[in-house]
Every structure is written in structure tokens, then in C-alpha cells.
Amino acid sequence: MGSEAKAVEGFDLMGLLRENIRKLKPYRCARDDFQDGVLLDANENLFGPPVSVEGMPSLLAYPDPHQSKLKKLYADWREVEPNQIFVGVGSDEAIDMLIRMICVPSKDNILICPPTYGMYKVSAAVNDVKVISVPLTEDFQIQPEKMLAAVNECTKLIWICSPNNPTANDIDADKIKQILDSDFKGLVVLDEAYVDFSERGSLSTWTKKYPQLVVLQTFSKSWGLAGVRCGVAISSPDVVKYMNCMKAPYNLNVLTSSVVRKNLQAKDSMLKTVAEIKLEKRRVRAELEKIPHVTKIFPSSANFLLFRVKSHSKEIYSAIANAGVVIRYRGDNLGCDECLRATVGRALDNDMFLCKLKEVIAAVLSA
């Protein structure tokens, strides 16, 4: 039998779940049974709030706990089934939930590949879960052989971020597949927050083949909706079922759901914006290459650029912030010595960044 059969046969979700989660009976809310009619079952104030804002949806009633319309729209876009979709408060809700779902505090561990998104480690610490680190290579790729050698019977989650934050590069799909086709018995989480900027595109359809794969996505990046705090997890229906059992009954509010659904029906506009950001990214990269103090600009499949300067990266970071342009210091991340990270903004934002960067570098070096 092929690798698909191996991946399915080697994964036992019930054995992986914490016992208390396996036995969990989810809270049953009023909207689980009825959503239409004269609803007098949830003790809402049917007179409504003292102040209403024109153009907003009604806020007096609880939202749909299942977010069925949103999930259908999202599933159609990613070419998966609605029962493979979990929606929550940003990706961070799913990150924390996955750890709580299968990691026993003070016993189990997760594996991360630094430099990577810091919330994996923070969520592990909050839940008293140990962290195994297997660094990326010099060109910021995962090392499947070393990762699989590092895991043990208490390793329940492997985290992979692609495009990676803070390095911006895609992780080689063949290397991800190597992890998925291995004998590792835990969940493999692929964080695709920046995937819509990647030429490769999403690997979310792989969840149909690999039931142990969880793909995280967000509306904060390509969709330009960081303020609504909406994230998505795509996985096998069984994994999603337990995530839904664990969530708060009304974890996604009416305003967020309404805004997200409207935007999902305007995908062409989002893709046009993504194309404009890619064009600006090429322009900013070309301008950075002209600055002598910039020694390297790393490949980017995201909406930001990681670049290295010869020296004084922290001083440059502070000085440019004081000059009114805020970028991110990344020199304290593994493999990112003397590195800075800049989001690709609008043309005016980028022009200001490039202008101030040149001025600040000259001032710092002459001090």
C-alpha cells in the first residue's frame, strides 16, 4: 500500500487525546437546537443595546455557535469540506487549544524549529508543556531526519511555519511530506498565516490525505482584517470535532463573523491587493540592495522582508522608530544576527521606510 495508507493507519487520534478531552461532553447552548422563531431560550435582552450603530448587524442575540455559513464559504475556497474547518479568535486560539487537547502538563512536549513564531513556545509554557527545539538550517529549512530523531514518546505536536515567521521563506513541501509520511504518532501543525503571498499556495488539501495534519490560517494578513481577530484551523473531521467540543460556545462574535463572510465574497479584491504587495516587495528589495550597509535580503514568500546589516542593527532599529518608522528587530532570533524585519506596506509607507533607513544608517555609523 502507498504512503496514504501508511499515514492513515499510523494515526490514532483517540489514543493521542488527553483522557479528560476524550471524555468531554461539550456545553450545549441554546442555539444548538433552534436559531429561528421567537427565541426566548437564552435570556438575551430582546430590547437590544442602548446605542446602535448604523450599518452594523443586530447585536442583541448570540451568534451562530457553529458558524456554518462562514465555514461553507471558507471550505469552498480552500477546496475542503465544511466539517474540516474550525474558526476561532485568531490563530492563537487554535495554537493554545491544540496543546491543551493532547499535551498532559508537566509530562508531554512539543517540537519547534527556531527561528519561528514565538507563540508556540509561549502557549507551551502557559500549559506547562516542555519544548524540544531543532533549529532550521542556515537557509531556514526544516531538518526532518533530526526532527524525527529528537522526538520521543511524550512528543505530541510538531510545529512547522510556512511561510516562516520571521524568515519569510516557504518550507520545502517534500520535507513536510517526509514528516507526515514518517512513523511520528502526534499531530503535525502547519502554520500558513502568510500563505496567500506564496507562489506555491496552500497545502490545506493535504488534510484529506493526512488525518494528523492541522493547517492554521488567518484573516490578519492577506485579508487585511487583523482587527477582527479571526483564525482558521483545517484538519480531519475528527480533530475538528474535538476542537469544537473544547471551544467556548460563542467564540466568534457577530461583528467578526459578518465582516469575514462579506470579505470572503470579495476574494478577487483580496488577490488584487496581494498582487500589489508583491510588486511593492520587489521594489523595496531592489532599493534595499542598493544600500551598502545591507549585506543580505532573504528570500520572501510573505508580506515582509528579513534583511541583515553589517552592524549596529539594534541601534538602527531604535533610531528609525524614533524617526517615525517602526520595523522589527530580529537579531535575537537564532540564525538572525544583525537582522531587521520590515512589513511591505503601501508605496508611501515603503518610500518613508527606505528614506528613513538610509538617513538612520548614515547617522548611526557616523556617531
Segment 43-57, tens digit of pLDDT? 999 998 998 888 888
Band (351; pLDDT cuts 50, 70, 90): very high
| CA distances, 86 to each of 90, 246, 319 (Å) | 11, 11, 42
Question: Average of pLDDT values for 302-310?
Answer: 98
197-241 tens-digit pLDDT: 999 999 999 999 999 999 999 999 999 999 999 999 999 999 999
| Residue 310 · residue 295 · CB < 8 Å | yes
Percentage of the chain with pLDDT > 70?
Answer: 97
Phi-psi region of 76 (alpha: psi -120 to 50; beta: other; left: phi over 0): alpha
Exposure string of 41-54, with b = 16+ CB inside 10 Å and e = fewer, is: eeeeeeeeeeeeee
pLDDT for 6: 41
Strand order in the sheet with 187-191: 85-88, 231-234, 213-218, 187-191, 155-161, 109-112, 130-133
| Residue type, position 341, single letter | R
pLDDT for 36: 85
Question: Taking 60 as the threshold, does the pLDDT of residue 325 lie above it?
Answer: yes
101-140 tens-digit pLDDT: 999 999 999 999 999 999 999 999 999 999 999 999 999 9
127-138 tens-digit pLDDT: 999 999 999 999
Strand order in the sheet with 339-343: 294-297, 304-309, 339-343, 328-329
Q: Look over the chain and give the mean of its residue pLDDT values, rounded to a whole number.
A: 95
pLDDT for 34: 83
pLDDT for 8: 47
261-283 tens-digit pLDDT: 999 999 999 999 999 999 999 99
pLDDT for 3: 37
Question: Average of pLDDT values for 165-184?
Answer: 98
pTM of the model: 0.94
pLDDT for 9: 60
